[in-house]
Amino acid sequence: MIGKEIRLERIMDRNTGRSVIIPMDHGFTLGQIEGLVDMKKTVSEVSDGGANAIVLHKGLVKGGHRGSGRDIGLIIHLSASTQLNPDPNDKVTICTVAEAIALGADAVSIHINLGAPQESRMLEEAGVISRHCMKWAMPLLVMIYPRGKDIDPYSPKLVGHCVRVAEEIGADIIKTNYTGDKKSFQDISASCSVPVLIAGGEKTSDLESLSLINEAVSAGSAGVCAGRNAFQRDNTREFVRALSRVVHDRVAPEDALLKESRPGIWSNKV
């Protein structure tokens, strides 16, 4: 398993055991959106801010590879759908583990919506991908949520069920919703043998977003996967730097936003 361990070290910080991941797969779903037009610029900003890894679809690896500056982990997303689909919860596989390896990925990610009409197909595809990941010692990030008609996406019971499903499929890292309650999320993360990261959530003010993420980390989250909540900020680099300090250095959100308190990337990296 040494190959998987080496790859995971490029995604999960070895000192803190946590990670700041910036998904950038939204263009496939939404089109040419703010923050994902100049990919090299955005990747540079989140990398300079101290993010551990980014998530890209296979076709953007070339456009998003900087070739200079601080290194950053690469996770290739295998799942996709578009907003034109009558059911946005319907995710299909558009890339393979072998393709991701050829592109230099450090991990792959998949998306599963429990409760959606296509749940059984998504689970079946996840099982195949997990098997290939095990064969090639490729870390697997499972993004999994309770989604469907009359389903509460923040229900502790359902979020906990999602985490258990991802763990049993063979996930090495799990991304899911924060329940909004420290006690319930602490119970969920403590019952899982692999790191559980929270989704970035709805875009709010810098301080509100950082405060929510800080609370989740205090409740056992191993970090955050923040997409639009990060790359659509007025100053993406500065926000990601503050986010990295909250997650890795456990700096209070209001202090992390002070420029004089953060001369560089988080302290255990300088």
Provide the annotated active-site residues: 25, 145, 175
User: How many whole angstroms separate alpha carbon 195 and alpha carbon 36?
Assistant: 27
Instruction: Give me 254's structure tokens.
Output: 């209001």
User: How many whole angstroms separate alpha carbon 139 and alpha carbon 266?
Assistant: 24
DSSP E strands, the chain: 19-23, 53-56, 73-77, 79-80, 92-93, 107-114, 140-146, 173-176, 196-199, 223-225
Instruction: Give me 215's structure tokens.
Output: 């609370």
Q: Which amino acid is at 210?
A: L
DSSP label at residue 145? E
**Angle 232-86-144 from CA coordinates, rounded to 5°:** 60
Q: 240 phi and psi, to 5 degrees?
A: -65, -35
Give the DSSP H or E segment for 187.
helix 182-190
142 Cβ partners below 8 Å, 6+ apart?
109, 110, 112, 126, 166, 169, 171, 173, 174, 175
User: How many whole angstroms separate alpha carbon 58 and alpha carbon 99?
Assistant: 8
Adjacent-strand bridge partners of 109? 77, 141
